[in-house]
Amino acid sequence: MTRIKVLFFAELGEIFGRARFIDIKEGSTVGEVVDLLAAESDRLYPKEPALIYAVNANLETREKKLKDRDELALMTPMSGG
């Protein structure tokens, strides 16, 4: 098993809390973790196409494979004026 830390920003923090540790299969991708989280809350799917993913502070895609102790940050796009 691989343990990662997931950080949630903006609206996602209201849904899932600010952070949590998740145990995943070795070689799991960002997308698989997002799908796992979406199974917990249907409020994630409408936001999913616009999500921004960062692994260890580097922007990534859904296809990025995760390693033990990685930190995955999930955020919605920022807007402002």
Give me the mean pLDDT over the 56-75 stretch. Answer: 97
Supply 54's token pair.
């960062």
| Cβ-Cβ contacts under 8 Å for 42 (sequence gap 6 or more) | none
Looking at residue 46, what is its pLDDT? 72
pLDDT single digits (tens) 21-53:
999 999 999 999 999 999 999 888 777 788 999
Backbone angles phi, psi at 24, to 5 degrees: -130, 165
User: 2-75 adopts what CATH topology?
Assistant: Ubiquitin-like (UB roll) (3.10.20)
Is the predicted pLDDT of residue 81 greater than 60, yes or no? no
Can you give the pTM of this predicted structure?
0.91
Going from N- to C-terminal start, the domains of the chain cover 2-75
Question: What is the distance between the terminal CA atoms of the chain, rounded to a whole angstrom?
Answer: 44
